[in-house]
Amino acid sequence: MSPEALLEADRLAVRVGHRWLCCEFSLSLRAGECLVLLGPNGAGKTTLLHTLAGLRPPTVGRVALAGRDLSTWPAGELARQRGLLVQQQPDYFAASVLETVLVGRHPHLGRWRWEGPEDIALARGALAQVGLEGFEGRQVLSLSGGERQRVAIAALLTQAPTLFLLDEPTNHLDLHYQIAILDLFQALAREGRGVVMVLHDINLAARYADRVILLDGVGGVLAGRRAEVLQAEPLSRAFGHPLRQIEVAGRAHFIPD
Amino acid sequence: MPSRDLDCCGAPSTHGKGRLVASVPGAAPAPSLAGRDALGRPLTRCLRVLGGLSLAGALAFAFALHAGEVTVSWADVAAALGLGPGGGAADVVRTLRLPRALAAYACGALLALAGTLMQILLRNPLADPYVLGISGGAAVGALGAIALGAAAWVVDGAAFAGALTATCLVFGLARGDGAWTPTRLLLTGVIVAAGCGAAVSFMLVMTTDIRVQSMLFWLTGDASGATRPWPAFLILLAGLALVLPYARDFNVLARGDLPARALGLRVERLRLLIYVMASLLTAVAVTQVGSVGFVGLVVPHLVRLALGNDQRLLLPAAALAGGALLTAADTAARTIMAPTQLPVGVLTALIGVPLFLFLLMRHPR
């Protein structure tokens, strides 16, 4: 394990039931980098993300955060280091936006501590970052899908982990918010944090990824730097549709043939 | 925390009353009144709410000792509580009304607390303490004992044993191959409750004499036989002491299993704690006063509507409100048709049903 790696997958393989989602691969993510998981529907991107988050054990190999095996982290300590944005955040009970966002402070508070002014300031700051200033007192159940997604992102920002794991962070978001949110996480990475995200859009991946893991849906994995993985040929094979690579403003874009 | 602002914060917001939400990079976010109301000075608010509910409970309790077929003067009520000299009426209060009022208070609190826990466990604001078949199991035990002509303490023991049997049965069946989702738990509970319902109907049909009356009182919920309220009180205090330290964990758990695990919770252990506590509290209450309905459903729901879903406040507030409500309902059950005594379950249903329908109408979602 290299000491400077924030997240390191070492000969990792994941199986669900009898199906291998990915064969053995190794990859390390440094602080400051953005890793994107790509692949067709049902390829196991979410399962792999949960494995990288330490929420399910790897079938083979190991995952380490800051040089320490994920299975040896106490749950509470791990929650202060890595945060997960889930794909669908259901709302079972009515709650205000501020209360919902403050849930992110849970791992930072002792058993009898209540959220203090500094926690509330963090939550308000996070809401401002996702463009939801003034929404503190609103009920989450009254919000639109895109607004709820941004509330979930604000809760994650309030958790303030070193490693962000995002399952489709652009879900429900309008185009300008998609770019804004991804810009935000890229900026967070540049400040010295790590970002791992599942994306559907190859071109957004090409824009934000430093490293890419491409799952082909039948167990094959291609993992490496963006330029090594994002090429027309492996992408076409993984997504089952021919893609053509074009250069626009010095950046690779992929369009379906 | 990241310092960079979104470059789109000036975008029009469809839900922001049409105004533009502009953000100034680096500026401290302006405090909002709505947010301050939601969370301002939470401890002070908690003390105020819990103090108010305690006072309501004390009033309901005092009235329970005062009112009845024979109205006892306040001086005699005070005397019965050891606060001064009193006449013979103090004995009525001490031996009859006091234990009954205490039992009603304890059981109301137990049921409301159990209902709140069950709603977290099943992530459903419409769950109640009986939804997993606990009252059904208790009813089978109690009615079986009544049918055999057993003594009152045997009926209580059989009810408790029945409740625990149903709890273990539902837990074992729902756990199955290890998957333990709220849906699976709920379906198993509903089916076990239906089975118990059939057994109860069978016993009612097969019993032909005066014992049917006892059975019906038990099924509706009745506090007249409650003479030993202290065990219920002790269990209530123990239950509160056990669940309150986890109240903030419950808030996180209400967000769903996966987000809760990502925030560092041990979800399986926490759910087991909730299940065991909710079942035990319900079993104790049902053993004392039979299957009184609606307290465990309506009280947590009402308190949540009034105070929000922060379990740190909701759990103790629901317990206090449940105690006050059942004490008041039991007093009404004793007095409104005196000398005929209604089972308290009829009163809670009469209050609960229209109240609940009203709430549903006001909150169509």
Residue of B nearest to A143 (CA): B15
Q: Exposed/middle/buried for B24, CB within 10 Å: 0-12, 13-18, 19+?
A: exposed
Interface of A with B in 44-63 (CB under 8 A): 50, 53, 55
Q: Exposed/middle/buried for A189, CB within 10 Å: 0-12, 13-18, 19+?
A: buried
Residue A164 has pLDDT above 70, yes or no: yes
**Given A79, A103, A137, which is nearest B37 (Cβ)?**
A137
Residue B22 has pLDDT above 70, yes or no: no
**How is residue B93 annotated by DSSP?**
I
**Largest Cα–Cα distance in chain B?**
81
Could you list the beta-strand ranges (E) of chain A.
5-16, 19-30, 34-38, 60-65, 68-69, 82-85, 163-167, 194-198, 211-215, 221-225, 243-248, 251-256
| Whole-number pLDDT of residue A148 | 95
Q: How confident is the model at residue B363 (pLDDT cuts 50, 70, 90)?
A: low
pTM of the model: 0.87
Query: Whole-angstrom Cα distance, residue B247 to residue B314?
Result: 9
**CATH number where B147 lies:** 1.10.3470.10
User: What total of structural domains would you count in chain B?
Assistant: 1
| Whole-number pLDDT of residue A226 | 94
**Given B14, B29, B125, which is nearest A124 (Cβ)?**
B29
Interchain CB contact of B183 with A (< 8 Å): no
Q: Exposed/middle/buried for A3, CB within 10 Å: 0-12, 13-18, 19+?
A: exposed
Distance of CA B28 to the CA centre of its chain: 43
Query: Whole-angstrom Cα distance, residue A180 to residue A170?
Result: 10
Interchain CB contact of B51 with A (< 8 Å): no
Query: Whole-angstrom Cα distance, residue B135 to residue B221?
Result: 11
Query: Whole-angstrom Cα distance, residue A229 to residue B105?
Result: 67
Residue B276 has pLDDT above 50, yes or no: yes
Q: How confident is the model at residue B178 (pLDDT cuts 50, 70, 90)?
A: low
Q: What is the mean pLDDT of residues B146-152?
A: 85
Helix, strand, coil percentages in chain A from 3-state DSSP, rounded to 5: 35, 30, 35
Could you list the beta-strand ranges (E) of A66-193.
68-69, 82-85, 163-167
Check CB contact under 8 Å for B261 and A55. Answer: yes
Q: What is the mean pLDDT of residues A3-26?
A: 90
Q: Phi, psi at residue A251, to the nearest 5°? A: -120, 145
Residue B88 has pLDDT above 90, yes or no: no
Q: How confident is the model at residue B8 (pLDDT cuts 50, 70, 90)?
A: very low
| Whole-number pLDDT of residue A84 | 97
| Residue found under tokens 């074009």 | A246
**Given B8, B15, B32, which is nearest A136 (Cβ)?**
B32
| Whole-number pLDDT of residue B37 | 42
| Whole-number pLDDT of residue B12 | 38
| Whole-number pLDDT of residue A2 | 52
Q: What is the mean pLDDT of residues B171-182?
A: 75
B85 inside domain = yes
Q: Which domain holds residue B144?
A: 67-362
Least confident stretch, A40-49, B47-56, B275-284, B287-296: B287-296
The tokens for B88 are 């013979």
Strands A34-38 and A82-85 come out as unpaired
Select the more confidently predicted residue: B147 or A187. A187
| Whole-number pLDDT of residue B351 | 84
pLDDT of B102-116, one tens digit each? 999 999 999 999 999
Chain B residues near residue A183 by CB distance under 8 angstroms: 4, 6-7
Residue B51 has pLDDT above 60, yes or no: yes
Q: Which residues contact B52 (CB under 8 A, 6 or more apart)?
A: none
Domains of chain A, start order: 5-89+163-256 (3.40.50.300)
Check CB contact under 8 Å for B33 and A177. Answer: no
B166 inside domain = yes
Residue B15 has pLDDT above 70, yes or no: no
B52 inside domain = no
B328 inside domain = yes
CA distance B124 to chain A (A): 7
**How is residue B11 annotated by DSSP?**
S
B61 inside domain = no
Percentage above 70 pLDDT, chain B = 85
ipTM for the complex shown: 0.93
**Given B29, B42, B264, which is nearest A133 (Cβ)?**
B29
Q: What is the mean pLDDT of residues A114-120?
A: 91
Q: What is the mean pLDDT of residues A208-225?
A: 94
- Using only C-alpha atoms, chain B has a radius of gyration, in whole angstroms, of 24
Check CB contact under 8 Å for A120 and B39. Answer: yes
Residue A221 has pLDDT above 50, yes or no: yes
Check CB contact under 8 Å for B263 and A159. Answer: yes
CA distance B4 to chain A (A): 7
Q: Exposed/middle/buried for B224, CB within 10 Å: 0-12, 13-18, 19+?
A: middle
Q: How confident is the model at residue B174 (pLDDT cuts 50, 70, 90)?
A: confident
Select the more confidently predicted residue: B128 or A37. A37
